Structure 1
Amino acid sequence: MAVLPLLILALLAGSAYSSPSRIVGGTVTSIDKFPSIVAVEFYSIWSGTWSQSCAANILTARYVLSAAHCFDGFLFDINYRRVRAGSSYRNTGGILANADHAYNHPTYGLNGYDGDISVIRLRTPLVYSPVVQQSVIVNQGFQIPDNLPVVHAGWGAISQGGPLSPVLLETTIFTINNQLCAARYLTLPWPQIVTENMICAGILDVGGKDACQGDSGGPLYYGNVTVGVVSWGHGCANATFPGVSTAVSPYTDWIIQTAV
């Protein structure tokens, strides 16, 4: 088994001062820049076709990291999920691998979207190439600082309720204080819970950049390090309510133990 790489803590520490979901306010990018991202495709029993609906990040040749809500639900069947790796384009190109088993975190579903993270085993291993590479994940327990520039990449909607992107997009946003974010979400008519296991990110009080529908399960990057998994938010690119990703660092040990 390939060794799952971890981030050296000093990388983030030295830079501390310098949302269920396509990318809003993004620019066209290439899989060459983000070779660890893969599209998660769903099979529709109604149309008999496959289509990208979530994303994931490569942990090893046999395992990818995604959001639990992409591998859950009344009609969920693991046989109706597959990943497409090594392509910049939605629903075309690259290489395909069917999903074999989803290991949703055991806390998922107990407290809103807390624990919205899943390790997915593939039936056949991915073949590494310049556009198919494993990710680096952050160390267990590391606290992501506020105002850190982070990047979303994905094929999701370009606006709330808008069309999905045919090509991979990226956008840079900034991490937002968790307590501030949590307080804002409690002001909604139907309050939402932001826990310490989540990362809020966006352009606070400005908006315009975010993950959106179709980006769920995709990575939140700091440099080439995966620090979050796109999870949920109030709309997309909202100025008041930032997008929310599951923080990877509370689950790093579990991820490593599971991806064996």
Structure 2
Amino acid sequence: IVTAAHCFDGRNYNPADRRIRAGTTLRNEGGVVVPVLREFNHPTYGFNGNDGDITVVRLGSILNLGGTIQQASLMASGFVLPGGWPVTAVGWGTISGGICIYPLQSCKAVSTQSVDYDVCRQRYGSLASNPPVTKNMMCIGNLFEGGEDACRGDDGGPIFYQNIVTGIVSWGSGCGDRNFPGVSMQISSYVDWIVATAV
């Protein structure tokens, strides 16, 4: 399992509280629940803003593939998704930028597009309080209209181009903001480490 490192870090993190539910789009029912044996945060996590915000999760029991449980393909090493390509963000986060007291109970997907790296970096460079957008990150959203983006609670979820995982939701300034796209870890920057760590 690949997700965001900040989901497995912090003062409120307790390994005993983590488990994986697979084979359902519902948050608290259906599918199969397996315990987390161990997580491996990327070695650069926490040293350069949000860079390295990616983790490999080793499961405590076997997850049998088939039916509604499938393995995803990861983007090839070194491939950078150009701006304007169609992508899909998936997660249980809020569906608007407002405050959400309760997370969604059903997984949602939103279709949006990749944002050019240099444009994204320049946008966030105008905000002194945000960490840098590095070459290990990719951005998604609609800079002309806003509205389509990952949001609060989607952290650690996948960004797909077709059926290939291209990113892992990490951070951003608001949700669906036409000025500031969502920022994800770019899988192609980490795929070699992911494969080496997962085996």
Of 167, 175, 178, the match for 2:114: 175
**Residue pair 2:50, 2:131 contacting (<8 A) in 1 also:** no
**Residue pair 1:79, 1:100 contacting (<8 A) in 2 also:** no
The sequence identity of aligned pairs, in percent, is 44
Q: TM-score, normalised by structure 2?
A: 0.95
Shift of 1:220: 0.3
Q: Which string of whole-angstrom CA distances, capped at 9 and with x for unpartnered residues, describes residues 56-77 of structure 1?
A: xxxxxxxx00000001112322
- Which position in structure 1 is the counterpart of 2:46? 109
Report the residue type matching 2:65 in the other structure: Y
How many residue pairs get aligned? The number is 197
**Aligned counterparts of 2:160 and 2:111: Cα–Cα separation in 1:** 9
Of 4, 8, 12, the match for 1:75: 12
Shift of 1:189: 4.4
Shift of 1:144: 1.3
**Aligned counterparts of 2:148 and 2:113: Cα–Cα separation in 1:** 10
- Which position in structure 2 is the counterpart of 1:146? 83
Report the residue type matching 2:27 in the other structure: R
Query: Aligned ranges for residues 45-60 of structure 1 at < 5 Å?
Result: none
Q: TM-score, normalised by structure 1?
A: 0.73
Report the residue type matching 2:56 in the other structure: V
Unaligned stretches of 5+ in structure 1? 1-63
**Aligned counterparts of 1:145 and 1:183: Cα–Cα separation in 2:** 16
**Aligned counterparts of 1:158 and 1:241: Cα–Cα separation in 2:** 17
Shift of 1:141: 1.0
Report the residue type matching 2:195 in the other structure: I
- Which position in structure 2 is the counterpart of 1:241? 180
Higher RCO (CA-CA < 8 Å; seq separation 6+): 1
Shift of 1:191: 3.5
Unaligned stretches of 5+ in structure 2? none
Q: Which string of whole-angstrom CA distances, capped at 9 and with x for unpartnered residues, describes residues 137-165 of structure 1?
A: 01111121111100011111111223532
Query: Is structure 2 residue 65 aligned with structure 1 residue 128?
Result: yes
What secondary structure does 1:184 align onto?
helix
**Residue pair 1:152, 1:170 contacting (<8 A) in 2 also:** yes
What secondary structure does 2:193 align onto?
helix
**Residue pair 2:123, 2:179 contacting (<8 A) in 1 also:** yes
- Which position in structure 2 is the counterpart of 1:21? none
Q: Which string of whole-angstrom CA distances, capped at 9 and with x for unpartnered residues, describes residues 80-114 of structure 1?
A: 11111011112111110111111000001011110
**Aligned counterparts of 2:25 and 2:38: Cα–Cα separation in 1:** 25
Query: How has the CA–CA distance of structure 1 residues 128 and 239 changed in structure 2, closer, same or farther, with 3 Å as cutoff?
Result: same
Report the residue type matching 2:163 in the other structure: N
**Aligned counterparts of 1:171 and 1:92: Cα–Cα separation in 2:** 22
**Residue pair 1:158, 1:164 contacting (<8 A) in 2 also:** no
